[in-house]
Amino acid sequence: MAITHNLGFPRIGARRELKFALEEHWRGELPAPALLELAAGLRQDHWQLQGELDWQPVGDFSLYDQVLDMSVTLGNLPARVRDLGGDELTAYFRTARGRAPGDAGDSVVAAGELTKWFDTNYHYIVPEFSTDTRFSLDPSRLLAQIDEARGQNVAVKPVILGPLSYLWLGKAKDGSDPLALLDGLLPVYAELFETLGRTGVEWVQVDEPVLVTELSETWQQAYLRAYRFLAGRGPKKLLTTYFGRLANNLELALSLPVDGLHLDAQANQDKLESLAAGLPDDRILSLGVINGRNIWKSDLNALLDRLEPLHRQLADRLWLAPSCSLLHVPVDLTSEQQLDAEVRNWLAFARQKLDELTTLATALNQGRAAVAEALQANAEALRSRRESQRVNRVDVKARLQALDASWGQRQSPFAERIRQQQDRLRLPAYPTTTIGSFPQTSEIRQLRRRYRQDELDERRYRACIQHEIARCIREQEALGLDVLVHGEAERNDMVEYFGEQLDGYAFSQFGWVQSYGSRCVKPPILYGDIQRPKAMTVDWIRYAQSLTDKPVKGMLTGPVTLLNWSFVRDDQPRSVTCFQLALAIRDEVLDLEQAGVEIIQIDEAALREGLPLKRSQWPDYLDWAVDAFRLAANGVADTTQIHTHMCYSEFNDIIDAISRMDADVITIETSRSDMELLAAFDRFRYPNDIGPGVYDIHSPNIPSHDQIVELMAKAGRRIPAERLWINPDCGLKTRGWPEVLPALENMVAAARTLREAVA
């Protein structure tokens, strides 16, 4: 009997029920018991949807983030939150967001840092450590959910984050080494396992995704030490790895004293037979056979060809699962009634992926004939996708073939370009600008919803958006900003907006995926060769420019970010898809230039986050990613100024690549690090213009004039004043106008002060 299980289910809800309830609760409109009741209802629904599986995950549900949940279980909330007291839920939300419902004044604290979860678009709350950190067990959340699940006849398999991954994902604010905390942490994990054992849990899933990164000898030794210490305590342990190949850590993983190993079957595919052959009799092997991060149907027949011999060898020691938690895919394809039927037939969301798993297990346990119809339909769907004219377009492929290196080359080097641009733009010293988006108010979202639901015709919708753009231009002129933006009011999201307009993309209605906390994104589905049927942004920018004499930036999302934040095709290398996107964006850049736009910003917010988890693979990725950016950007004349924006700040290790992008101006996040992160640009003698962010847009706090002047003075010690711009860290879409206006007022005033100093 092959056994089926799941690593984790999306918790936001098929209709984003959790998002809306959380936001209502934070506004003080939904009491905590009602929020908790809704969460319990979602868990119940999700266990029911997973009812066919042999084991179901428990503890994967989270009100905000699973890493923060683990911090609670290990008694490791930040001292600034613990000191404020209050109940458990209050402390939880204060750590996540800096405030709980009703908090003001002294009860507002700095929120925990959010950072991306491996190479996904999910963001977790970073555990905070110092040399003084002491852990203590609080298993109450996990035990309560185990009880709840047992009450619903769930075959309970608790899920926890393992000790090494927990330490690796955290940060010591005092610069100490998190690994030094391992000895203090292990007894708490031991107590947790023993507690779970006493409640009769048979298997516990211990997530150690860090095993797919390239670990130093010290970390490898730490793994051995930790799992030897924990051996034999509590339930059987399924050591769970995901997001890639175990590579050098495979032997290490196999040598750990655990009862089973889960790995991504596709990433480790050349190892499966030898693994099965050498597996000790008392171990199980769990294969992540269904891709948990994309939305394509699996090739079930090909998988069975591979799995049948393994199953004959391992019998019930073969477990089948998705490759990782299904957190990263939408819940249910059956909701998508407006999606093109042909494309829909190629897709599988979370529910459909679990169906695939059940089909595979039935075929293995009872023979393929038992699921002949499902296998036939699957083969048909795959054939239809492979042969579809919409997937493979001769014209797009031919254009890519015809590319030569000159397409990625600006006409002149930066020093010459910037002289021509300055002659044309006549900007003051320390030019001020913003990153693109202005507040996405509920009125703007309502507009879009009414347009989508045909309550507003196109003419009226466009007039309303123009009205928003006009307001945005008016406000920026009144503030005295130097380079304006149109505000992005017409965009639901910086990626989805472009996906909706490019051939080769489909988009869903309900395909929401959690990005952080209650915030979701709806990644568009890139299924075929990419072609831009018509200009996507030119009318809006032209309209904005018609309202002002100041330059308005054309605003685009770059090819690498479109790639990394979409569900992309798996039938060709990512680099090829990225170059197709680059050509489409290049066409838009040239149309903007043709329309007289003097400055064009191409956001590459996801370029760094797409770095492979293994450093040895970085050079290859950076080569083609930077080439794709250059292909998109570099068709313009010297007089056209290209900006790029990246809303993160760790550039030390990729500064060569950033430099090779050769954007005339790069705007980056630096305010929270006190400009320290400019050190990389300084050390490398980065030659082009830089706009180091002077205020943190994630916080409602208003930066003062003096703070901004001080930050820019620090920047000036690293970068010559004539190459500095002044701007916020990132776009302002999540903020409200009452916060944005005074912040930008101070920013412009600070620029004036700085200009006086250089006059």
Ligand X SMILES: CN1c2c(nc(N)[nH]c2=O)NC[C@@H]1CNc1ccc(C(=O)N[C@@H](CCC(=O)N[C@@H](CCC(=O)N[C@@H](CCC(=O)O)C(=O)O)C(=O)O)C(=O)O)cc1
Ligand Y SMILES: N[C@@H](CCS)C(=O)O
- Which positions touch Zn ion (CB under 5 A)? 605, 647, 730
Q: Which of 445, 467, 474, 683 binds ligand X (CB under 6 A)?
A: 445
Residue 344 binding: pick among ligand X, Zn ion, ligand Y, none (C-beta 5-8 Å cut-off by kind): none
Among 109, 521, 541, 622, binds ligand X (CB under 6 A): 521
Determine if 15 is a binding residue for ligand X (CB under 6 A). Answer: no
Cβ proximity to Zn ion: between 494 and 622 the closer is: 494
**Residue 157, marked binder:** no
Is residue 448 involved in binding ligand X (CB under 6 A)? yes
* 436 contacts ligand Y (rule: CB under 6 A): yes
17 forms part of the interface with ligand X (CB under 6 A): no
Query: Is residue 437 a contact point for ligand Y (CB under 6 A)?
Result: yes
Task: Work out whether 442 is an interface residue with ligand X (CB under 6 A).
Answer: yes
Binding-site string for ligand Y from residue 634 to residue 673, where x marks contact by CB under 6 A and - marks none: -----------x-x--------------------------
Q: Is there binding between residue 487 and ligand Y (CB under 6 A)?
A: no
Q: Choose one: 159-167, 418-426, 444-452, 528-536; the region binding ligand X (CB under 6 A).
A: 444-452
The full DSSP string for 257-308 is: --SEEEEETTTTGGGHHHHHHH--TT-EEEEEEE-SSS-BPP-HHHHHHHHH
CA nearest neighbour of 286 among 681, 2, 22, 78: 2
DSSP character at residue 127: P
Give SS3 for 599: strand
The minimum distance between CB 6 and ligand Y, in angstroms, equals: 33
Active site residues: 698
Instruction: Give the x/- contact pattern for ligand X in 522-551, rule: CB under 6 A.
Output: x-----------------------------
Q: Measured between alpha carbons, how far is 638 from 411 in angstroms, rounded to an integer?
A: 6
DSSP bridge pairs for 665: 643, 689
Q: 238, 366, 370, 348: which is closest to 293 by C-alpha? A: 348
Report which of 553, 544, 729 is spatially closest to residue 642, judged by C-alpha positions.
Answer: 553
For 406-468, the DSSP string reads: GGG--SS-HHHHHHHHHHHH-PPSS-BB--SB----HHHHHHHHHHHTTSS-HHHHHHHHHHH
**Residue 123 interacting with ligand Y (CB under 6 A):** no
Report the residue from 99, 519, 542, 660 that binds ligand X according to the rule CB under 6 A: 519
How far is 680 from 691, CA to CA, in rounded Å?
14
Residues 554-613 that bind ligand Y (CB under 6 A): 555, 603, 605
Measure the CA–CA gap between 503 and 490, rounded to whole angstroms: 19
Q: Does the annotation place 522 within a ligand binding site?
A: no
From its phi and psi, is residue 136 left (phi > 0), alpha (psi between -120 and 50) or beta? beta
* 16 is an annotated ligand-binding site residue: yes
Site for ligand X in 715-734 (CB under 6 A): 734
Q: Give which of ligand Y, ligand X, Zn ion, none residue 437 binds (C-beta under 5 to 8 Å, depending on kind).
A: ligand Y
Q: Do β-strands 513-516 and 519-521 pair in parallel, antiparallel, or remain unpaired? A: antiparallel
**148 is annotated as contributing to ligand binding:** no
Query: Which range in 178-186, 270-278, 421-429, 489-497 contacts ligand X by CB under 6 A?
Result: 489-497
Strand stretches in 24-65, DSSP E: 56-58
Nearest in space to 285 (alpha carbons), one of 303, 266, 270, 264: 264
CB 215 within 8 A of CB 169: no
65 vs 70: CA distance, rounded Å: 9
- Is 18 annotated as ligand-binding? yes
Which 589-628 residues touch ligand X, going by CB under 6 A?
Answer: 605
Cα–Cα dist 144/739, whole Å: 41
* Residues contributing to the annotated binding site for L-methionine: 435-437, 488, 603
Q: Which residues sit at the interface with ligand Y, rule CB under 6 A?
A: 435-437, 494, 555, 603, 605, 645, 647, 730-731, 733
Residues that bind ligand X (CB under 6 A): 121, 442, 445-446, 448-449, 492-496, 515, 519-522, 565, 605, 647, 734
Give the residue ranges of the annotated binding site.
16-19, 116, 121, 435-437, 488, 519-520, 565, 603, 609, 645, 647, 669, 730
